[in-house]
């Protein structure tokens, strides 16, 4: 009975997978917050390269997966870059008819785009290295998230797992009575999807009700309660937090010394 | 000094705001620690409300008035919240998929213990013990979304007992399981209640399945009968209560253990072993002969499967692109079924038999054109299909609109007749989702028949229904066949199959292993064994006793005739509606 206290098995994957989920989430938040005040392209570019290297090595993610994960952030970043380059007033770099690209636009747009990439690569690192269930457990333990909310989210996660199967069955069940298209194929279309979504909603709400009753029957909400397998919060987690903040501050300082760092002033 | 009762109901009356009459009326009941009780009653007699009054859902969660008092292990339910009462009460509900709430089996079992502040170092050991008690030790490291219905239900049972409640409530715990899941859960309930020793309250209408081969001895020792007005009609040992109430329970659509059903119909005890019961059944075969509907002669082929190969992978590969009903090449995934060949003929009802997971649903989806066959072809006009869960088919906000769906061309009279024929006129303006189980099934069948397709496919159409609704569904199918349609339905319930089907197709070992007249197939022991089908004792005896299909049908219909077709005057309460 005096065995070591049970802990969450955070062992699969690379180094980052073994770090505490709440700490990782907090660091993602801190880096994003700091980036809000940076408007030059060089500082986020440096941060991006460091983050990419750190995430790549600590998650051992395949290059292809990493590249695919970048696609939405790249697309979003590119959009921001183009809009800023074309719309921001300043020194004209290139002009053709109504189109006009400014130096300031490129600089601010580039900064914002690179900011997106930094947050993107960190988010990729967070998602691939974090088990959703461990995250909820850790938030419950380390961020004082209430047990009712924690387990409601976990139960919702389970419902989500079953939804694709349910969706497919509902679509098939509806298709049986739907009129065929002239070429003999089954109809798709927005209204068919809308009807299926309504059915899925009703079925899911009722299932949610039953699950809520099950959770209550299991005693969810009783106090005091214990936590079986604690998600560990180790010295290594604090070391990682310190290292990330040091690197962040170091790069910002270096960028300032070299004359690259710009804040809100860049927008004027 | 007497022991403190596990459960004490004293003059309990429950009323719901929008109903004129009380659902429970003056129910007084005392249950000692470790005592096992079964509650009998027709649907609508307040069985579920009784369970809700014990958990505290009535009156805390559901808007209702509770008269009298309910106390669980000395705690009066009106003085404590549902969560607080959960310290004494474990619940195993009907639906396996919502009885398990968390992504991992381990967490699911740890949760009740964490909530009751059990020291963490004891939890692992107790999880092992609970899983062993339900014979599921191997499931500990599994994810819950990968469990079968029977496995889910065993995990849910372990979770409801792990915190050692004084009372375990079983709310139709096996009614949504296939035969193999049912057998496993049934065994687990006996083993786990023996290991943990709670008092048990069981509500169940499929008593023949629940009792199993043990018959009446397979049910809890004590029984209470609730009448239509929510009052206690009888309270005593299960054997006595069943004898004195068998006829009425049978008439109200409870599935009784065979011995009790035969007593209800023949008035003799002793079951099939008793010669006077057997001779009464023989009389049934001949007495009923004139009234039995003629077996319709089969007409031309309306649907044909030619070398059909069924695979779920064939569709997944081209998902999101065209959904043409044209054959595609098989993907790398091995096919579920190969070389499927058969014809469905006008006026003929065919049963699709096979073990769980043999591919019955996938085959029906393929025949309906909803999954592309990985090889071969399905010939004939577009068939209709009724799904296992009728809710999945519902698209409209009222019953009247539901049957109109996709049929804008038909006249008002046509729809009125259709609703009348399927006894849905009185709920025409209600939401389909608010109907009872039997009404939902009838609506799903009516809405499909509205399309006048020459063939109708049905996936487990009588699953989870009480006996009255099962008989009504079978009657609707027979009517559709007599109107010249070809029917194909899958089912685990061999008794319903024997009463309804003309032909059978058996799938196992990834192909069709037998097809032919239903009783020829059912007489073939080797086929039944290979397909994992278990013959109910009554059918076994009928096949040995009678030579012709007509005689066997007469007995089965004679037994069904003892079930009254009309629902009790009072509308049943809807659980969770």
The CATH number assigned to the domain holding B245 equals: 3.40.50.300
Residue A184 in domain: no
Q: Which of B245, B266, B287 is the last residue of a domain?
A: B266
**Judgement on whether residues A165 and A200 belong to the same structural domain of the protein:** yes
**Judgement on whether residues B252 and B314 belong to the same structural domain of the protein:** no
Residue B446 in domain: yes
Q: Cα(B208)–Cα(B344) distance, rounded to whole angstroms?
A: 32
Provide the pLDDT for residue B437.
84
Residue numbers in A near B156 (CB within 8 A): 214
Identify which of A170, A188, A219 has the shortest CB distance to residue B115: A219
Provide the pLDDT for residue A39.
94
Provide the pLDDT for residue B577.
35
* pLDDT tens by residue, B98-126: 889 999 999 999 999 999 999 999 999 99
The first and second tokens of residue A89, run together, are: 């007033």
Hey, is the C-beta of B433 within 8 angstroms of any chain A C-beta? yes
Give every CB contact of residue B181 below 8 A, 6+ residues apart in sequence.
B148, B149, B150, B151, B153, B174, B356
**Judgement on whether residues B474 and B403 belong to the same structural domain of the protein:** yes
Residue A225 in domain: no
Q: Which of A39-48, A82-91, B12-21 is the most confident on average?
A: A39-48
- Nearest CA to CA, how far is A142 from chain B (Å)? 17
Residue A260 in domain: yes
Task: Kindly identify which residue of chain B lies nearest to residue A162, measuring between CA atoms.
Answer: B145
Q: What average pLDDT does chain B have?
A: 88
Residue A252 in domain: yes
Give every CB contact of residue A259 below 8 A, 6+ residues apart in sequence.
none
Q: Cα(B328)–Cα(B348) distance, rounded to whole angstroms?
A: 30
Per-residue confidence at B297, pLDDT binned at 50, 70, 90? low
Residue A182 in domain: no
**Judgement on whether residues B309 and B419 belong to the same structural domain of the protein:** yes
Is B370 in contact with A172 (Cβ distance < 8 A)? yes
The first and second tokens of residue B318, run together, are: 């081209």
**Judgement on whether residues A240 and A125 belong to the same structural domain of the protein:** yes
Find the radius of gyration of the CA atoms of chain A: 25
Strands (E), B485-564: 486-490, 503-508, 511-517
**Judgement on whether residues A85 and A152 belong to the same structural domain of the protein:** no
List the 350-409 stretch of B: residues with Cβ below 8 A of A.
Answer: 365, 368-370, 382, 384-385, 387, 389, 391-395, 405-406
Residue A10 in domain: no
**Judgement on whether residues A121 and A33 belong to the same structural domain of the protein:** yes
In this prediction, residues B13-40 reach a mean pLDDT of: 92
What are the helix (H) ranges across B101-237? 105-115, 120-133, 149-161, 179-196, 207-211
Q: How far apart are the first and last CA of chain A?
A: 67
**Judgement on whether residues A97 and A36 belong to the same structural domain of the protein:** yes
**Judgement on whether residues B225 and B310 belong to the same structural domain of the protein:** no
Residue B112 in domain: no
**Judgement on whether residues A86 and A165 belong to the same structural domain of the protein:** no
Q: Is B496 exposed, middle or buried (0-12, 13-18, 19+ CB in 10 A)?
A: buried
Q: Is A201 exposed, middle or buried (0-12, 13-18, 19+ CB in 10 A)?
A: exposed
How, if at all, do strands B89-92 and B337-345 pair?
unpaired
- Whether the predicted pLDDT of B1 surpasses 70: no
**Judgement on whether residues B177 and B74 belong to the same structural domain of the protein:** yes
Find the radius of gyration of the CA atoms of chain B: 25
**Judgement on whether residues A198 and A107 belong to the same structural domain of the protein:** no
Residue B134 in domain: no
Q: How far apart are the first and last CA of chain B?
A: 44
Question: What total of structural domains would you count in chain B?
Answer: 2
**Judgement on whether residues B325 and B394 belong to the same structural domain of the protein:** yes
Determine what percent of chain B is predicted with pLDDT higher than 90: 66
**Judgement on whether residues A20 and A88 belong to the same structural domain of the protein:** yes
Provide the pLDDT for residue B330.
42
Residue B82 in domain: yes
> A106 lies in which domain range?
16-136+231-267
The first and second tokens of residue A32, run together, are: 């994003």
**Judgement on whether residues A124 and A247 belong to the same structural domain of the protein:** yes
Residue B557 in domain: no
- Whether the predicted pLDDT of B81 surpasses 60: yes
**Judgement on whether residues B257 and B309 belong to the same structural domain of the protein:** no
Residue A179 in domain: no
The first and second tokens of residue B479, run together, are: 């009517």
Residue B570 in domain: no
In this prediction, residues B448-461 reach a mean pLDDT of: 94
- Whether the predicted pLDDT of B313 surpasses 60: yes
Give every CB contact of residue B553 below 8 A, 6+ residues apart in sequence.
B292, B498, B499
Residue B277 in domain: no
Contact present, A42 and A255 (Cβ < 8 Å): yes
Question: What total of structural domains would you count in chain A?
Answer: 2
- Whether the predicted pLDDT of A14 surpasses 90: no
Position of tokens 């399309």?
A: B451
* pLDDT tens by residue, B196-208: 999 999 998 788 8
Most A CBs within 10 Å: which of B75, B98, B431, B576, as the mutation test of the A interface?
B98
DSSP code of residue B80: S
* pLDDT tens by residue, B326-339: 444 444 578 899 99
Determine what percent of chain B is predicted with pLDDT higher than 70: 92
* pLDDT tens by residue, B374-431: 999 999 999 999 999 999 999 999 999 999 988 888 899 999 999 998 889 999 999 9
Provide the pLDDT for residue B252.
85
Per-residue confidence at B209, pLDDT binned at 50, 70, 90? confident
Contact present, A241 and A26 (Cβ < 8 Å): yes
φ, ψ at A106 (rounded to 5°): -60, -40
Hey, is the C-beta of B548 within 8 angstroms of any chain A C-beta? no
The verdict on ipTM greater than 0.95 is: no
Is A220 in contact with B111 (Cβ distance < 8 A)? yes
In this prediction, residues A25-48 reach a mean pLDDT of: 96
Q: Which long-range contacts (CB under 8 A, 24 or more apart) does B281-290 make?
A: B281/B542, B281/B545, B281/B555, B282/B545, B284/B554, B284/B555, B284/B558, B284/B559, B285/B546, B285/B551, B285/B552, B285/B554, B285/B555, B285/B558, B286/B551, B286/B554, B287/B558, B288/B554, B288/B555, B288/B557, B288/B558, B288/B561, B289/B550, B289/B554
Per-residue confidence at B293, pLDDT binned at 50, 70, 90? low
- Whether the predicted pLDDT of B324 surpasses 70: no
In this prediction, residues A55-63 reach a mean pLDDT of: 91
Contact present, B224 and B40 (Cβ < 8 Å): yes
Per-residue confidence at B570, pLDDT binned at 50, 70, 90? very low
Residue A11 in domain: no
Is B156 in contact with A214 (Cβ distance < 8 A)? yes
**Judgement on whether residues B240 and B362 belong to the same structural domain of the protein:** no
3-state secondary structure B147-174: CCHHHHHHHHHHHHHCCCCCEEEEECCC
**Judgement on whether residues B445 and B515 belong to the same structural domain of the protein:** yes
Hey, is the C-beta of B447 within 8 angstroms of any chain A C-beta? yes
In this prediction, residues A22-48 reach a mean pLDDT of: 96
Q: Cα(B533)–Cα(B550) distance, rounded to whole angstroms?
A: 23
Higher pLDDT, residue B141 or B331: B141
**Judgement on whether residues A160 and A211 belong to the same structural domain of the protein:** yes
- Whether the predicted pLDDT of B318 surpasses 60: no
Provide the pLDDT for residue A5.
63
**Judgement on whether residues A120 and A23 belong to the same structural domain of the protein:** yes
**Judgement on whether residues A21 and A130 belong to the same structural domain of the protein:** yes
Provide the pLDDT for residue A11.
52
Determine what percent of chain A is predicted with pLDDT higher than 70: 94
**Judgement on whether residues B238 and B320 belong to the same structural domain of the protein:** no
> B83 lies in which domain range?
7-102+166-266
- Whether the predicted pLDDT of A126 surpasses 70: yes
The first and second tokens of residue A183, run together, are: 């070429």
Residue numbers in B near A151 (CB within 8 A): 101-102, 111
Residue numbers in B near A179 (CB within 8 A): 406
CB atoms within 10 A of CB B318: 13
**Judgement on whether residues B244 and B351 belong to the same structural domain of the protein:** no
């Amino acid at each position: 009975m005096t065995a070591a206290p049970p802990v969450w098995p955070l062992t699969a994957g690379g180094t980052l997978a073994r770090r505490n989920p709440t700490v990782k989430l907090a660091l993602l938040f801190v880096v994003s917050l700091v980036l809000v005040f940076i408007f030059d392209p060089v500082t986020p570019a440096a941060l991006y390269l460091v983050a990419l290297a750190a995430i790549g090595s600590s998650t051992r993610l395949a290059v292809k997966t990493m590249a695919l994960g970048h696609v939405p952030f790249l697309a979003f970043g590119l959009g921001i870059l183009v809009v800023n380059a074309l719309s921001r007033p300043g020194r004209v770099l290139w002009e053709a008819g109504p189109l006009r690209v400014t130096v300031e636009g490129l600089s601010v747009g580039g900064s914002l785009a690179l900011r997106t990439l930094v947050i993107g690569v960190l988010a990729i690192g967070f998602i691939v290295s974090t088990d959703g269930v461990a995250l909820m457990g850790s938030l419950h333990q380390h961020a004082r998230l209430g047990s009712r909310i924690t387990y409601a989210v976990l139960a919702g996660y389970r419902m989500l797992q079953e939804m694709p199967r349910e969706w497919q069955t509902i679509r098939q069940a509806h298709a049986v009575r739907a009129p065929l298209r002239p070429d003999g194929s089954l109809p798709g279309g927005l209204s068919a999807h809308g009807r299926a979504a309504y059915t899925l909603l009703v079925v899911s709400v009722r299932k949610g009700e039953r699950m809520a009753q099950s959770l209550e029957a299991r005693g969810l909400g009783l106090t005091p309660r214990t936590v079986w397998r604690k998600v560990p919060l180790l010295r290594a987690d604090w070391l990682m937090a310190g290292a990330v903040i040091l690197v962040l501050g170091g790069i910002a300082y270096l960028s300032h010394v070299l004359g690259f760092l710009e804040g809100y002033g860049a927008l004027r | 000094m007497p022991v403190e009762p596990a459960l004490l109901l004293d003059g309990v009356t429950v009323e719901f705001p929008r109903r004129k009459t009380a659902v429970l009326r003056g129910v007084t009941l005392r249950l000692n620690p470790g005592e096992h009780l079964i509650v009998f009653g027709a649907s609508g007699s307040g069985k579920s409300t009784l369970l809700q009054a014990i958990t505290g859902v009535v009156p805390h969660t559901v808007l209702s008035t509770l008269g009298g008092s309910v106390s669980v292990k000395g705690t009066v339910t009106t003085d404590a919240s549902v969560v607080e009462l959960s310290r004494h009460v474990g619940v195993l509900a009907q639906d396996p998929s919502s009885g398990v709430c968390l992504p991992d089996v381990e967490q699911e079992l740890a949760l009740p213990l964490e909530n009751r502040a059990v020291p963490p170092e004891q939890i692992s050991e107790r999880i092992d013990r609970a899983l062993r008690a339900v014979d599921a030790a191997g499931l500990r490291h599994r994810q819950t979304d990968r469990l079968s219905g029977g496995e889910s239900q065993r995990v849910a049972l372990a979770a409801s007992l792990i915190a050692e409640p004084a009372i375990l409530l079983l709310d139709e715990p096996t009614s949504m399981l296939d035969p193999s899941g049912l057998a496993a859960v049934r065994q687990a309930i006996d083993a786990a209640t023996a290991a943990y020793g709670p008092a048990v309250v069981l509500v169940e209408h499929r008593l023949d399945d629940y009792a199993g081969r043990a018959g009446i001895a397979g049910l809890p020792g004590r029984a209470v009968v609730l009448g239509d007005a929510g009052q206690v009609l009888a309270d005593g040992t299960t054997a006595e209560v069943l004898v004195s109430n068998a006829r009425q329970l049978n008439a109200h659509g409870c599935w009784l253990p065979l011995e009790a059903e035969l007593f209800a119909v023949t008035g003799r005890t002793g079951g099939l072993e008793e010669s006077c019961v057997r001779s009464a059944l023989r009389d049934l075969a001949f007495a009923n002969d004139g009234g039995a509907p003629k077996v319709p002669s089969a007409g031309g082929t309306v649907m044909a499967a030619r070398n059909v190969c069924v695979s779920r992978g064939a569709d997944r590969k081209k998902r999101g692109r065209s959904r043409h009903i044209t054959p595609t090449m098989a993907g790398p995934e091995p096919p579920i079924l190969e070389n499927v060949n058969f014809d469905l003929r006008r006026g003929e009802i065919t049963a699709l038999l096979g073990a769980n997971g043999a591919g019955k649903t996938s085959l029906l989806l393929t025949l309906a054109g909803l999954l592309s066959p990985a090889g071969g072809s399905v010939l004939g006009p577009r068939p209709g299909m009724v799904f296992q869960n009728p809710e999945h088919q519902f698209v409209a906000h009222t019953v009247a609109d539901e049957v109109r769906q996709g049929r804008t061309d038909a006249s008002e009279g046509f729809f009125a007749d259709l609703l009348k024929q399927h006894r849905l006129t009185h709920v025409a303006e209600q939401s389909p989702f608010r109907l009872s189980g039997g009404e939902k099934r009838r609506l799903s069948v009516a809405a499909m028949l509205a399309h006048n397709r020459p063939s109708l496919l049905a996936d487990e159409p009588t699953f989870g229904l009480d006996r009255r609704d099962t008989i009504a569904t079978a009657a609707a199918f027979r009517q559709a066949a007599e109107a010249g349609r070809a029917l194909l339905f899958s089912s685990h319930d061999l008794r319903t199959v024997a009463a309804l089907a003309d032909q059978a197709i058996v799938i196992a070992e990834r192909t069709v292993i037998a097809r032919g007249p239903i009783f020829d197939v059912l007489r073939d022991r080797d086929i039944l064994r290979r397909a994992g089908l278990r013959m109910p004792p009554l059918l076994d005896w009928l096949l040995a006793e009678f030579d012709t299909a007509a005689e066997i049908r007469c007995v089965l219909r004679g037994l069904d005739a003892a079930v009254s077709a009309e629902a009790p005057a009072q509308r049943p309460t809807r659980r969770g509606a």
